[in-house]
């Protein structure tokens, strides 16, 4: 590369703009987390300063853990997210293998049908989904959420995974066939391990909206026993609006798990986006 594109003032300007925007992006998160560790007076007197030994206070966290059943909410969110993720990846990989591996009548029509859901949000069917869940007795169960999120995640999963399945070498699969492996074994033993990086990308894309969703937990499973973290935090904060310590602590508790997961998977996520899988 030539050096014409990177002169010093230009580089400094680029860093200045990026730093400024990074500050804007992180500032609200930092303010919330920092203040959640302070006493009520300090929160109001000096919201922008970090907690000192005098102003350090965990009262917010103790209130949250005493009042809200956050462990249960975490458990619910965890079950829903992991189960939906598992089903999306399994069913999505199976369907995309069928679409990319075999030629059969209606192949591209089926691909188009499954891709519809990328553009049309599942939320628009809520009225009928609720009726369906009422009719099948699934209201206020985690199963209802898992089913909805599986359906929601499948279109994008099939779309991305098909692209990757096409790249798996035919020679390998044919060698397997000559060795007498069944089509199922070829899929589970040969193809699945090879598309693992793509599966990880799909996993991250699928996971975040499920964990963060408020609409379906609010409508399909609002009972105490099935609340997810997002809904639990929403209701808790609504009740404790005036207790700033508790609200800030609840927000921080809701931020942390997603943040940790993101920092672990961010490289995967960014590589997934930049590899052109979602173009």
Partner 1 sequence: MAESTEIRRPMRWHIAVFLAPAVLVYTAVMIVPLFGTLQLSLFSAEGQTRVFAGLDNFRTLFFDPRWAASFWNALWNNTWFFIIHMLVQNPIGVVLAALLSSPRLHFSAFYRTAIFIPTILSFVIVGFAWKLILSPLWGVAPNLLDLVGLKSLFTPWLGKEEYALTTLGLISVWQFVGIPMMLIYAALLSIPDEVIEAAECDGITGMAQFWKIKLPLILPSIGIISILTFVGNFNAFDLIYSAQGALAGPNFSTDILGTFLYRTFFGFQLQIGDPYMGSTIASMMFFIILAGVCLYLFAVQTRLRRYQF
| Positions in 57-86 near partner 1 (CB under 8 A) | none
Residue from 2, 53, 178, 193 in contact with partner 1 (CB under 8 A)? 2
Q: Which of residues 95-124 bind partner 1 (CB under 8 A)?
A: 95, 97-99, 102, 104, 110, 114, 116-117, 119-124
User: Which x/- pattern over 143-182 shows residues binding partner 1 (rule: CB under 8 A)?
Assistant: ----xx-xxx-xx--x-----------------------x
Nearer to partner 1, 10 or 189 (CB): 10
CB of 279 to partner 1, least distance (A): 7
Residue from 109, 128, 135, 178 in contact with partner 1 (CB under 8 A)? 128
Residue that has been written with the tokens 């961010």 in this structure: 266
User: Which x/- pattern over 19-48 shows residues binding partner 1 (rule: CB under 8 A)?
Assistant: x-xx-xxx-xx-xx----------xx--xx
The phi-psi region of residue 48 (left if phi > 0; otherwise alpha if psi is between -120 and 50; otherwise beta) is alpha
Q: What angle do CA 207, 211, 216 make, to 5 degrees?
A: 115
Q: Which of residues 192-221 bind partner 1 (CB under 8 A)?
A: 208, 211-215, 219
Q: Which of residues 222-261 bind partner 1 (CB under 8 A)?
A: 230, 233-234, 237, 244, 247-248, 251, 254-255, 258-259
Number of residues that bind partner 1 (CB under 8 A): 95
Nearer to partner 1, 2 or 53 (CB): 2
User: By the 8 A CB rule, do 164 and 198 touch?
Assistant: yes
Nearer to partner 1, 43 or 80 (CB): 43
CB of 232 to partner 1, least distance (A): 10
Residue from 58, 59, 132, 190 in contact with partner 1 (CB under 8 A)? 132
Distance CA 102, CA 107 (A): 8
Nearer to partner 1, 65 or 255 (CB): 255
């Amino acid at each position: 590369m030539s050096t014409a594109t990177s002169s010093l003032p230009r580089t400094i300007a680029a860093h200045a703009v990026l730093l400024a925007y990074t500050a804007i992006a992180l500032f609200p998160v930092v303010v919330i987390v920092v203040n959640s560790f302070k006493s009520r007076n300090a929160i109001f007197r000096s919201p922008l300063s970090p907690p000192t030994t005098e102003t350090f206070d965990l009262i917010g966290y103790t209130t949250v853990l005493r009042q809200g059943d956050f462990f249960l909410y975490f458990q619910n969110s965890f079950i829903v997210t992991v189960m939906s993720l598992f089903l999306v990846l399994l069913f999505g990989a199976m369907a995309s293998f069928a679409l990319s591996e075999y030629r059969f009548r209606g192949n591209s029509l089926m691909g188009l049908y499954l891709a519809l859901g990328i553009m049309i949000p599942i939320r628009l069917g809520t009225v009928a989904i609720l009726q369906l869940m009422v009719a099948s007795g699934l209201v206020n169960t985690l199963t209802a959420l898992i089913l909805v999120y599986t359906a929601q995640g499948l279109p994008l999963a099939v779309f991305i995974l098909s692209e990757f399945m096409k790249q798996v070498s035919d020679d390998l699969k044919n060698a397997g066939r000559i060795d007498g492996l069944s089509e199922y074994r070829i899929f589970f033993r040969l193809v699945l391990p090879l598309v693992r990086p793509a599966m990880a990308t799909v996993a991250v894309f699928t996971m975040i909206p499920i964990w963060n969703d408020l609409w379906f937990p609010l409508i399909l499973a609002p009972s105490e026993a099935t609340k997810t973290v997002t809904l639990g935090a929403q209701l808790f904060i609504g009740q404790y609006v005036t207790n700033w310590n508790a609200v800030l602590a609840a927000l921080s508790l809701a931020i942390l798990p997603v943040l940790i997961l993101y920092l672990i998977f961010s490289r995967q996520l960014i590589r997934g986006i930049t590899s052109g899988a979602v173009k």
